[in-house]
A and B are shown apart, each in its own frame.
Chain A
């Protein structure tokens, strides 16, 4: 077993390998293998895995890719991630990818799928329309058809239609993956000093670019390490980060928040890997229906899911309560409609509930965090100096 430091270093390299070396090597090892890139936030990777593919997260270049060509495609008042994904594509980082999936999260990524189609990147481009109708017999059926559409595209490349057993096997692997990620968060809830949030981020993000079997091995080792009493507690408040993260913050920003006096005990940085709460049934003879039911009935809240019957402000408040957090940090990507349009909903509700919060905006390529660090530091100090009762959500 590797030591924790080695594991984290490996994950750091994997998570930000913008050449997707491991995925390309995996594809080259055997005929019929395909790489399917998917953009944030969530895609049921089980489907690609069962069809003989490797789902690979395409989350932008962050602060590690200079944007030149991508800026020619997007006006200054559009968020950063589409220009950064275009830059990756135009600079041939995604050349070995067989297809691309754009989950329906906002107008910008929806239209980016059209630009990808126009450029004929990959062998297929699929805008994945997630249902906003949450009745299994209506929205659920539509969602299954969308998944079948993806499987049809992959079959056109490798001739493979996954069996029920293969789909259930894949569901099982991803169930295990989600369980272990949640275990890490649960441990951190009590002992956040055992593993920094920056390390958690690298570990989880690494899982989006390598086979799930390999990621599960990594997670198993991490779980063993953090069961041990390691690290030293510091005088920090506990916070939940909420940002509807499609565009990812620079790692420096993730680090800065903890350095400024906060333990981040929950977040939605890599929401896609944690979207389904609990397991998907891996024992049915209708695995697509099982995936669909899980999405409809046991998804985490998200700014991209219509929430009228299940208001997001109460769901976030429940997370704050469950994690014993002292407050919330709202971090929205600049010009991110879903996140920014949610801001008044969250903030008005939290004002009434008495949950303390701060809010700021970021862009994936900013690497100056002094102002944000000061803001977070002041937030942490204010809570430490005027500590309230723990949050109790009544609704």
Chain B
């Protein structure tokens, strides 16, 4: 039986923020606040806040449903209604949840959207998802912002201008219409200033994995750390406070020479440092994490924590260029990077954080991540001569998490790492 998780102050802060959002959502009928459904990658949190709207993130609802063991039923419900077994399980979980009354993670009904804001960033399925939602919510206003892909590993002035034009001529007028609030650039600038501050903090937090032992796990714990910045709190003083507190807790861990906090307490010995590519499995999240910490493996960097924004290469929201900055942010999310960029970024992580290995968790129903992962793995193996591991699971479909298969593969992989470490020691 798993032990009770230890809660630090930052965790309590985050819990309060999330609960506050869901309470606000539960009370929209009383408060008259408008509701905006949108996605994490390329989320325009600051803009949504400028119009006093409340965000709902369907993929966050899906992963929360999975962690509460409800996603399996929702997915089956969607499949009974012509949704294929082979498509994104976030979509099916969301559709199934809707069919079952749209009860959110906190047990309250999630209000219907007043606006569907699709900042179509790095994932083609998002677009299809919103086509489905539009048919479910015919009265909702639909706002689409097409984010160009960094196909040539760059953001050109033309790409930024395209984003700005869409924001000016389509997104902002429609948001004004739905919310009844006039666009206030100064208000947006204020949020963007706080966003940049939070981005500085989160970059420093993920950079602490340079320490040995690493004071944090940048994947399994990392997914909690990215919560506030990704789900609507970027641009708020609460998010800045959260990240400051988290950073201070991590500094204390470094001072004490402690490893990461796991659901079963501190990890005692850091044996292996890994970089992980791909989202985690949510249906068996704890069991999945346990395989790693039981073996003394800590994740020092992951691509998934960059899905809502890549900040470690220096990019920040810029209040002096508000709309350009929003556009660049969307274009700079991890899945909007081309494959060579992803390889370069992950290679840099492996080197900077002195990783012993590189593991891909390939998600069956997420082509945005999965298509190309095998080629990336080969290239990283060739380039850095680092041992690579490969496992397969799914986002929120419990049918595709095979504990024994994953454990066997990882155990073999860790044996290989152990052998390699032993040989390196002998050679030294």
Q: Which residues of A contact B (CB under 8 A)?
A: 72-75, 77-78, 82, 104-108, 110-115, 117-118, 126-127, 129, 131-133, 135, 137-139, 141-142, 145, 303-304, 306-308, 311, 332, 334-335, 337-338, 340-345, 347-348
In the complex with contacts A127-B151, A131-B146, A145-B158, A341-B339 CB distance below 8 A: no
Give the contacting residue for A108; candidates B135, B340, B343, B367; CB below 8 A. B367
Contact yes or no, A337 B88, CB < 8 A: yes
The CA of A137 and the CA of B168, in the complex, are separated in Å by 12
Contact yes or no, A110 B392, CB < 8 A: no
Q: Which of B65-73, B125-133, B269-277, B416-424 contacts A (4 or more CB under 8 A)?
A: B125-133
Per-residue contact bits, chain B 122-166, to A (CB 8 Å; 1 contact, 0 not): 011101111110110000001011101101000000100010011
The CA of A345 and the CA of B342, in the complex, are separated in Å by 34
- Shortest CB distance B403–A (Å): 19
In the complex with contacts A131-B146, A133-B166, A117-B134 CB distance below 8 A: no
Give the contacting residue for B371; candidates A108, A132, A138; CB below 8 A. A108
Give the contacting residue for A78; candidates B82, B88, B134, B371; CB below 8 A. B371
- Shortest CB distance A152–B (Å): 11
Most buried by A among B146, B170, B340: B146
In the complex with contacts A107-B367, A107-B368, A341-B125, A75-B362 CB distance below 8 A: yes
In the complex with contacts A107-B371, A131-B146, A113-B392 CB distance below 8 A: no
The CA of A74 and the CA of B151, in the complex, are separated in Å by 20
Per-residue contact bits, chain B 353-385, to A (CB 8 Å; 1 contact, 0 not): 000000000101101101111110001000000
Contact yes or no, A308 B371, CB < 8 A: no
Q: Which residues of B contact A (CB under 8 A)?
A: 81-84, 86-88, 91, 120, 123-125, 127-132, 134-135, 142, 144-146, 148-149, 151, 158, 162, 165-166, 169-170, 338-340, 342-343, 362, 364-365, 367-368, 370-375, 379, 392
Of all chain A residues, the one with the shortest Cβ separation from B368 is A107
Contact yes or no, B343 A107, CB < 8 A: no
The CA of A343 and the CA of B86, in the complex, are separated in Å by 12
Give the contacting residue for A341; candidates B87, B145, B392; CB below 8 A. B87
- Shortest CB distance B130–A (Å): 8
In the complex with contacts A113-B151, A126-B151, A345-B132 CB distance below 8 A: yes
Contact yes or no, A112 B371, CB < 8 A: yes
- Shortest CB distance A338–B (Å): 6
In the complex with contacts A118-B375, A127-B149, A344-B81 CB distance below 8 A: yes
Of all chain A residues, the one with the shortest Cβ separation from B91 is A341
In the complex with contacts A118-B343, A135-B169, A74-B371 CB distance below 8 A: yes
Of all chain B residues, the one with the shortest Cβ separation from A339 is B84
Contact yes or no, B151 A138, CB < 8 A: no
In the complex with contacts A78-B367, A133-B170, A115-B82 CB distance below 8 A: no
Give the contacting residue for B149; candidates A104, A137, A303, A307; CB below 8 A. A104
Q: List 11 A-B contacts (CB under 8 A).
A: A107-B124, A110-B124, A115-B372, A118-B379, A129-B151, A138-B169, A139-B162, A141-B162, A341-B132, A344-B83, A344-B132
- Shortest CB distance B332–A (Å): 16
Closest 4 CB pairs of A and B: A114-B339, A127-B151, A111-B372, A132-B146
The CA of A52 and the CA of B343, in the complex, are separated in Å by 35
In the complex with contacts A110-B124, A340-B87, A129-B149 CB distance below 8 A: yes
Contact yes or no, A306 B127, CB < 8 A: yes
When distances are taken between beta carbons in the complex, the residues of chain B under 8 Å from A106 are: 124, 367
The CA of A332 and the CA of B84, in the complex, are separated in Å by 10
Give the dominant DSSP class at B's interface.
helix
Question: Number of residue pairs across A and B with beta carbons under 8 Å?
Answer: 150
Of all chain B residues, the one with the shortest Cβ separation from A117 is B340
- Shortest CB distance A280–B (Å): 22
Give the contacting residue for A114; candidates B123, B338, B362; CB below 8 A. B338
- Shortest CB distance B423–A (Å): 27
Contact yes or no, B146 A133, CB < 8 A: yes
Contact yes or no, B82 A335, CB < 8 A: no
The CA of A368 and the CA of B372, in the complex, are separated in Å by 29
Contact yes or no, B371 A111, CB < 8 A: yes
Contact yes or no, B132 A337, CB < 8 A: no
Give the contacting residue for B86; candidates A105, A141, A340; CB below 8 A. A340
The CA of A347 and the CA of B83, in the complex, are separated in Å by 10
The CA of A138 and the CA of B158, in the complex, are separated in Å by 11
The CA of A344 and the CA of B129, in the complex, are separated in Å by 11
Contact yes or no, A113 B338, CB < 8 A: yes
Contact yes or no, A118 B148, CB < 8 A: no
Give the contacting residue for A306; candidates B88, B144, B371, B392; CB below 8 A. B144
Give the contacting residue for B144; candidates A110, A132, A334; CB below 8 A. A132
When distances are taken between beta carbons in the complex, the residues of chain A under 8 Å from B371 are: 74, 78, 82, 107-108, 110-112
- Shortest CB distance B344–A (Å): 11
Contact yes or no, A138 B367, CB < 8 A: no
Of all chain A residues, the one with the shortest Cβ separation from B375 is A115
When distances are taken between beta carbons in the complex, the residues of chain A under 8 Å from B340 are: 114, 117-118
When distances are taken between beta carbons in the complex, the residues of chain B under 8 Å from A338 are: 124, 128
Given contacts A306-B144, A348-B81, 5 further A-B contacts (CB under 8 A): A72-B374, A77-B365, A337-B124, A341-B87, A345-B135
When distances are taken between beta carbons in the complex, the residues of chain A under 8 Å from B124 are: 105-107, 110, 304, 337-338
Of all chain B residues, the one with the shortest Cβ separation from A127 is B151
- Shortest CB distance A150–B (Å): 12
- Shortest CB distance A395–B (Å): 13
The CA of A306 and the CA of B132, in the complex, are separated in Å by 11
When distances are taken between beta carbons in the complex, the residues of chain A under 8 Å from B142 are: 308
Contact yes or no, B87 A337, CB < 8 A: yes
Contact yes or no, A117 B87, CB < 8 A: no
- Shortest CB distance B187–A (Å): 25
Contact yes or no, A138 B170, CB < 8 A: yes
When distances are taken between beta carbons in the complex, the residues of chain A under 8 Å from B84 are: 332, 340-341, 343
When distances are taken between beta carbons in the complex, the residues of chain B under 8 Å from A137 are: 165, 169
Of all chain A residues, the one with the shortest Cβ separation from B125 is A337
Give the contacting residue for B372; candidates A77, A112, A308; CB below 8 A. A112
The CA of A91 and the CA of B81, in the complex, are separated in Å by 42
- Shortest CB distance B140–A (Å): 10
- Shortest CB distance B35–A (Å): 18
- Shortest CB distance B42–A (Å): 13
The CA of A82 and the CA of B170, in the complex, are separated in Å by 35
When distances are taken between beta carbons in the complex, the residues of chain A under 8 Å from B125 are: 107, 337, 341
The CA of A347 and the CA of B84, in the complex, are separated in Å by 12
- Shortest CB distance B181–A (Å): 23
Give the contacting residue for B148; candidates A82, A126, A129; CB below 8 A. A129
Contact yes or no, A117 B338, CB < 8 A: yes
